[in-house]
């Protein structure tokens, strides 16, 4: 398969030939969901978990999953390369309706798009990043991986504009997550992350880290994190499928801990890398 091939509604084609209608509800309304699934040397990472989350996102927006697990795997396979790290991006929208109308269209097939991109080495894994806190302006469907990402984009860009790499979002005095990541902190030696609910995306990387912490006797808990706790955490990390675990070494212009990725970050990053290796 040519390296820039993508999948659109049943066919593979070069990226430049993949076209959708301007009446697609993804384009008009942001009416759709997506997934980002890493693949290490051709092996999809935690595929079942990603497909389960896709199922949950589709249920949240009242769309039927157009494919079975096996069909999805068959769609992804030709896009993957065995010699590098990549991620699958898949998007499903409510399809192309005959006219623009907020109400769901009847008898319209969803649009299914899949592409695959390289995961490049992260320049800031060893150094960590700066982050800024900001008021979480999002809605009550953050548990669904909706393509409607305007608030997340504005948060991320506001962080970049301030010379930071990520926004850490705060709702009613408590941390929710990053603009495109989950948040972990270390409080009195214990790893803490906010509980699941409609205020955060249930990150797959987040779940993997909690599993690894449990298996390796690293103390952890799911708990609300106040801004005061965030500000006195000895370590802060953000996690995602494409960036794995990145330490936040500066928050709102103030050093976190020693201003370098902390000891628990090293432990958990080591465990994550070993776990990835074990699946190859």
Q: Which residues contribute to the site for ligand PDD (CB under 6 A)? A: 36, 152, 177, 180-182, 201, 203-206, 239-242
Candidate list 4, 84, 140, 145, residue with the active-site label? 145
3 state DSSP class of 234? coil
**Shortest distance, position 65 Cβ to ligand PDD, whole Å:** 18
Q: String of b and e for 235-247 (b: at least 16 CB within 10 Å)?
A: bbbbbbbbbbbbb
DSSP alpha helix (H) spans, the chain? 25-29, 47-60, 69-76, 150-161, 204-215, 227-232, 263-278
CB of 99 to ligand PDD, least distance (A): 30
Q: What is the largest CA-CA distance in the chain?
A: 58
Cβ partners under 8 Å of residue 133, min gap 6: 167, 168, 169, 170, 227, 230, 251, 252
Name which of 149 and 187 has its Cβ closer to ligand PDD: 149
- Residue entry with tokens 């097939």: 109
Nearer residue to ligand PDD within complex by CB, 104 or 133:
133
Q: Nearest approach, Cβ of 203 to ligand PDD (angstroms)?
A: 3
Give the C-alpha distances (Å, rounded to integers) separating 39 from 3, 154, 276: 15, 28, 10
Angstrom distance (rounded) from CA 91 to CA 180: 16
The answer to whether residue 145 is catalytic is yes
Nearer to ligand PDD, 97 or 136 (CB): 136
| CB of 95 or CB of 203, closer to ligand PDD | 203
Q: Least CB distance from residue 101 to ligand PDD, whole Å? A: 28
Supply the residues annotated as catalytic. 145
């Amino acid at each position: 398969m040519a390296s820039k091939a993508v999948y659109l509604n049943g066919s593979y084609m070069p990226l430049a030939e993949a076209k959708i209608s301007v009446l697609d509800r993804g384009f008009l309304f942001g009416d759709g969901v997506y997934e980002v699934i890493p693949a290490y040397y051709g092996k999809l990472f935690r595929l079942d978990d990603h497909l389960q989350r896709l199922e949950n996102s589709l249920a949240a927006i009242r769309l039927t999953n157009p494919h079975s697990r096996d069909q999805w795997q068959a769609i992804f396979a030709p896009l993957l390369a065995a010699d590098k790290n990549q991620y699958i991006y898949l998007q499903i929208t409510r399809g192309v309706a005959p006219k623009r109308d907020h109400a769901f269209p009847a008898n319209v097939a969803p649009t299914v798009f899949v592409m695959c991109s390289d995961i490049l080495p992260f320049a800031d894994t060893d150094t960590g990043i700066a982050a800024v806190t900001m008021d979480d302006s999002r809605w009550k469907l953050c548990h669904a991986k909706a393509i409607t990402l305007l608030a997340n984009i504005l948060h991320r860009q506001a962080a970049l504009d301030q010379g930071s790499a990520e926004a850490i979002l705060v709702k009613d005095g408590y941390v929710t997550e990053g603009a495109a990541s989950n948040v972990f902190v270390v409080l009195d030696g214990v790893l803490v992350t906010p509980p699941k609910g409609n205020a955060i995306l249930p990150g797959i990387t987040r779940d993997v880290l909690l599993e690894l912490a449990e298996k390796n006797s690293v103390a952890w808990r799911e708990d609300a994190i106040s801004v005061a706790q965030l500000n006195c955490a000895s370590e802060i990390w953000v996690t995602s499928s494409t960036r794995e675990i990145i330490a936040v070494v500066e928050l709102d212009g103030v050093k976190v801990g020693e201003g370098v990725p902390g000891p628990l970050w090293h432990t958990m990053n080591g465990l994550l890398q070993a776990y990835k290796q074990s699946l190859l």
